[in-house]
Amino acid sequence: MKKISISLLAFFIGAITLTAQGFERFYNDNVINDFTQTTDQNFLMTGSYTEVYKSFGWIQKTDASGNPIWSHAIEVGDTSTFCQSIQVIDTQHFVVAGTATFKNGPDYEKNFLQRYDGNGALVAEWSSSQMVTATFYASASDLARGTDGTLYFLANSGYWTNFNASKLTLLTSNLQEISAVILDATLYQIEVLPNGDLMMCGVQNNQAYLCRTTPAGELLWEKTYQTGSARMTLTADGNAVLATDKNLLKANVANGDLVWNKTISLTNYVQAPTWVVEDDQQNLVVTGMYNANYTSVFTIHKLDSNGNLMWSKTPYQAMMWHHSEVKPLITTTGLYALGGYLQNTTNWDTDALLYVTDSNFSPVSIRETALNPLHATAAPNPVSDRTVLRWAEPQTGRIRVLANTGQCIREDQLSGTEYILGVGNLPAGMYRVQMVTDQQRTSVLNIVVHH
């Protein structure tokens, strides 16, 4: 199954090899924008982080549990570099798409692609030929690989007062440009049908938008449905399911006609489905959020193939997240992988998250940047009896264990460089461990308890 989703600059690229801490190194305003699974069941991820008022892109390869294998920072623009999408090309190569901004030189923003080998070494690059100014909007959106190996790079562009156009660029797998097509919509996602045709979705005139084109980008049909933008998944029965700002709907890929239209209702609050994928049982997994009391709550839903709700969960309900965008992926082993970011209302720190669960959303493994200036770790994790919390330098303070409801169920003194946490009497599930030093430095770790 294709990754969930979402040009390289020939004159400059700075790649910085990071420590074995992996994406935990990106601790300040870090987001995972896209991730996918490789043929060897590892994960490839890409995103951005901010350090001293400058944004950098990053790529990372992890094992199936999210443990880092290698990591690289990416600097393309002299102001910021945002990596938006990642696509596996073959067993030894992948491509990253993003946008770079500049304060010096003739261009203000440019889209870029970079091709890497399996060890993260840069082997090819491409950048958009569009010359833009500070009043012009450019943003990489998504990347897909066609049935014949062609790469389809989707990017939105326009002036800040009117960004209602998307550019579809066709390239070889070695990033040689073939052609480009302009489409009259703001598009967020591209998927490839078995016959090579393309399905794209997004928003047009404030309505959810879906279109089908030939492999060359020639428009076959287009449809709008209701208020809001859309993401999608192609289903095994030959249709497309869209998650819009309001509803979940299924459309026929032959002509765009509606098959069904459903509303997800978990609480009295307004739901906002964001991402949708289909698992190997043809059930639908939908992630999103709802707004409650000036904060946004991350939600995940499982529905059958007809859009009937099977269960809903709110794993971060009490953590006061202001905003979240967490994308689901069905792995080759049938597990769910969730990757994205959560933003905290109390200090606006943004935490990158990679969360692997079974089909009932019971946690298998989790890696999170969280608020971790202490560079704290927990091992083993998951844990059945005892886990050892460690941090880099001696500290004094307090340690608290929070249940998934946000309730503090244990509190103790923090001292030295480690703490042994016994969990044998705790019910199975996910817990948050909060470490607060006397100097008011706070680190938060997630631990998974299983018996």
Mean pLDDT of 41-51: 84
- Residue 164, burial from CB neighbour count under 10 angstroms (0-12, 13-18, 19+): middle
From the candidate CATH numbers 2.120.10, 1.20.1260, 3.30.1380, 3.10.20, the one assigned to the domain spanning 14-191+248-368: 2.120.10
What pLDDT does residue 191 have? 97
* CA angle centred on 374, ends 368 and 378, rounded to 5°: 50
The segment with the largest mean pLDDT, out of 214-218, 336-340, 398-402, is: 214-218
Answer yes or no: is pLDDT of 40 > 60. Answer: yes
Answer yes or no: is pLDDT of 128 > 90. Answer: no
Mean pLDDT of 20-49: 68
What pLDDT does residue 24 have? 31
Tokens read off for 343? 């933003």
Mean pLDDT of 206-234: 93
Computed over every residue of the chain, the mean pLDDT equals: 79
- Name the DSSP class of 38: -
What pLDDT does residue 447 have? 82
Pairing of strands 230-234, 239-244: antiparallel
Instruction: Name the least confident of 35-49, 77-91, 122-136, 147-161.
Output: 122-136
Instruction: Name the least confident of 52-56, 152-156, 364-368, 439-443.
Output: 364-368
What pLDDT does residue 388 have? 93
Answer yes or no: is pLDDT of 394 > 80. Answer: yes
The answer to whether the CB of 374 falls within 8 A of the CB of 437 is: yes
Helix (H) or strand (E) run with residue 426 in it? none
Between residues 210 and 74, the one the model is more confident about = 210
Answer yes or no: is pLDDT of 385 > 70. Answer: yes
Rounded distance between C-alpha atoms, residue 328 and residue 337, angstroms: 6
pTM equals 0.76
CA distances from 281 to 235, 236, 247, 340, 357 (A): 11, 10, 22, 24, 16
- Residue 39, burial from CB neighbour count under 10 angstroms (0-12, 13-18, 19+): exposed
Tokens read off for 401? 């264990």
Instruction: Name the least confident of 79-83, 148-152, 255-259, 446-450.
Output: 446-450
404: confidence class by pLDDT, cuts 50, 70, 90: low
| Selection from 241, 297, 306 nearest residue 272 by Cα | 297
Answer yes or no: is pLDDT of 96 > 90. Answer: yes
Looking up tokens 């480009």 gives 180
Answer yes or no: is pLDDT of 325 > 90. Answer: no
Between residues 429 and 196, the one the model is more confident about = 196
12: confidence class by pLDDT, cuts 50, 70, 90: very low
Answer yes or no: is pLDDT of 4 > 60. Answer: no
Asked whether the domain spanning 377-449 has the same topology as the one spanning 14-191+248-368, the reply is no
What pLDDT does residue 69 have? 81
| Selection from 343, 309, 313 nearest residue 325 by Cα | 343
> SS3 of 347, please?
coil
| DSSP bridge partners of 425 | none
Between residues 87 and 328, the one the model is more confident about = 87
Answer yes or no: is pLDDT of 311 > 90. Answer: no
What pLDDT does residue 265 have? 65
The answer to whether the CB of 96 falls within 8 A of the CB of 85 is: yes
Answer yes or no: is pLDDT of 18 > 50. Answer: no
Rounded distance between C-alpha atoms, residue 126 and residue 243, angstroms: 32
The answer to whether the CB of 242 falls within 8 A of the CB of 235 is: no
Judged by phi (left if over 0) then psi (alpha if -120 to 50, else beta), residue 429 lies in left
223: confidence class by pLDDT, cuts 50, 70, 90: very high
Q: What is the pLDDT of residues 362-382, one digit of tens each?
A: 666 555 544 456 778 888 888
Mean pLDDT of 59-79: 82
* CA angle centred on 433, ends 378 and 443, rounded to 5°: 85
The answer to whether the CB of 227 falls within 8 A of the CB of 238 is: no
Mean pLDDT of 89-117: 86
- In the chain, how many H helices and how many E strands? 0, 34
Rounded distance between C-alpha atoms, residue 100 and residue 244, angstroms: 28
Instruction: Identify the architecture of domain 377-449 in CATH.
Output: Sandwich (2.60)
- Name the DSSP class of 193: -
**Any idea where the domains of the chain sit in the sequence?**
14-191+248-368, 192-247, 377-449
Residues 6+ apart with CB under 8 A from 274: 231, 243, 287, 288, 289, 325, 326, 327
> SS3 of 324, please?
strand
107: confidence class by pLDDT, cuts 50, 70, 90: low
135: confidence class by pLDDT, cuts 50, 70, 90: very low
Distance spanning both ends of the chain, measured CA to CA = 32
